[in-house]
Structure 1
């Protein structure tokens, strides 16, 4: 019985000591600088496929460090390459058609100039024949008025010459009408040829746009790293089908780790962007890392429905994001850390220790 009482007393003493230690720890934490707990995060980028194609090869493994632009995965490019070749052929054909249309427009322009000149020449010929025909008619009339003073043969010759010039004048007028119509047709042909040449130029522009699109599709057959970082996951194996928008690889950049912790409403005034902070990680108990507050949320998280009492207001918490100054790869994503506002003691020395 006495032994049980002793054991009970020892147990009560141990529990009292633990409780006192916990209360002292909580009191010190309450009296210390504002802060909280968070998890280290890195900059995560998902590399997604834009094509519906099979994975041909993976050029890296999960966990590998890659530089920006490094080749990660190659997709089957048979169809995009065939489309690229077809587009290049269409562009060459469009350029040839444009050259032919330009040549046709040039030839139509020259033909129009020739026909226009011919029509102008016909008008000049009509004027000349009209003058000659008028002169011949007057000559025949004078001979007829002379009566016996002239021979009948001379009168017949003058009348025949006037009739011939009349026929030539009528033929010239018909030829001039035909030439004028040909000139109009040639002008329309020139306009049509110019429109065809313009359409051929637009066809070249459309083919060039299709060519750029085809080249983009071919470039998408090689998925490259958009930034330097670590390959966290490779979602597909060679032979598997990558769908448009599907995540093929995930990269994590740990060069600038960050973490988010929450401050209660009563301590929010102590936080502001640009403020120094101290980070401690369980993996490095003897080391502190300098950090800096980046954002202070303007809206509370975990807000009760009705904030009426002081205890309710104390339950309001605001997310605070900090960027941590740590060597690349030292603080890994997912590591739990404790964050407190204010610069660490001896931060300049602590940051240089290996």
Structure 2
């Protein structure tokens, strides 16, 4: 007797035979696909130049800012500059009303002229007159001495009396007193004398008063102390400004720096002189070079960050004070390194990372790895895999030893 199923199939038509075998074939296909495993996405180990970088954001900072204020209380007459304007050192920024200051300056200059005239009077007039008077007094003294000598001789001969001799003595004493007085006057008017010193002191005081008046008058014209860009203006024509009130802010021209806060965990990676590429958040596609120039020796206890500064040798024209910037500091470079995505790693932060490699039969095999540099979502592979190996993403729920199928077009390279 023939087997039951073949006998039945022999009697049925081909359509009936197909309908009867379809469930069996479907079950066989499902079993085959189950044995092959689920469809997954994979990454490929690639060999590329690899740069490790520390990424941080910060701000643009000029060496310093200059707050410009008035030194007197006055009314604003003119403001010939606008915010954002580039100015040169000495350019007028603000002009204040200065009629009272100008009057004080004219008064001080007149006092200076008077002091100069007084000194000239001492040296050019009074001193020569005093010297002439001294010479005349000396001549009178010599005549008085000669007269007394003659009178004494006549008195000894009995030709004159005691009264005539006393008169000659008095004349000599008077001439001597006059000579001594003219001598003192002359000494006083000479450069080392008291009258000359008083005239010079008065002149110096007048000069100081005039210079002070000029300085006060200059307060009415507020000029740029250095080349730079005005990044703030808080004054208008007609305002009455107070002494010390900030009116403008100047960002001086000079070395431009980028100030960043780096996580202290990256402190061992950075060093002075390292190169970086930066971009302003407002212009993300325009990158410019910078150089690490300063590392703060202290760590912020609250944030765990270290402040660093980078010099920008040729800042782009659009770069402005306090702009937010993103910076990639290159801390290491490996040419033609084997790379794999961090997304394929299991226990990535630990000491024994591993990944699931898909072999030629589609089986997921666990591979222990030794890694080097890590940056930008990728790691340098030192040992454990070869170029071209396909890896499962760590997010896939696949056990080691299981079969998997790679989705068509779902194999990505390990990008830089």
TM-score, scaled to structure 1: 0.70
Paired position in structure 2 for 1:178: 174
Distance 1:76 1:344, change over 3 A: farther
Which runs of no fewer than 5 residues in structure 2 stay unpaired?
A: 1-40, 42-50, 334-416
d(CA) in 1 for partners of 2:281, 2:233: 29
The structural deviation recorded for 1:192 is: 4.5
Paired position in structure 1 for 2:270: 271
Paired position in structure 2 for 1:56: 77
Aligned counterpart in structure 2 of residue 78 of structure 1, from 92, 96, 99: 99
Q: For residues 97-116 of structure 1, what are the structure 2 equivalents within 5 Å?
A: 97-102=118-123, 103-116=125-138
The structural deviation recorded for 1:328 is: 4.6
Contact kept? 1:63, 1:231, Cα under 8 Å = yes
SS at match of 2:160: helix
The structural deviation recorded for 1:90 is: 0.4
Q: For residues 1-354 of structure 1, what are the structure 2 equivalents within 5 Å?
A: 32-42=52-62, 43-102=64-123, 103-134=125-156, 136-137=157-158, 162-163=159-160, 166-193=162-189, 194-253=193-252, 256-301=255-300, 303=301, 316-342=304-330
Distance 1:88 1:344, change over 3 A: farther
Between structures 1 and 2, the one with greater strand share = 2
d(CA) in 1 for partners of 2:185, 2:323: 78
SS at match of 1:286: coil
The structural deviation recorded for 1:200 is: 1.0
Paired position in structure 2 for 1:9: none
CA RMSD, Structure 1 to Structure 2 (Å): 2.7
Per-residue CA deviations over 1:126-171 (Å, capped at 9, x if unaligned) read 123323433x34xxxxxxxxxxxxxxxxxxxxxxxx135x543332
Per-residue CA deviations over 1:220-260 (Å, capped at 9, x if unaligned) read 21112223333222211112122222222212246643221
SS at match of 1:269: helix
Greater gyration radius = 2
d(CA) in 1 for partners of 2:160, 2:226: 97
SS at match of 2:284: strand
The structural deviation recorded for 1:327 is: 4.1
Count of residue pairs the alignment pairs up: 279
Between structures 1 and 2, the one with greater helix share = 1
TM-score, scaled to structure 2: 0.61
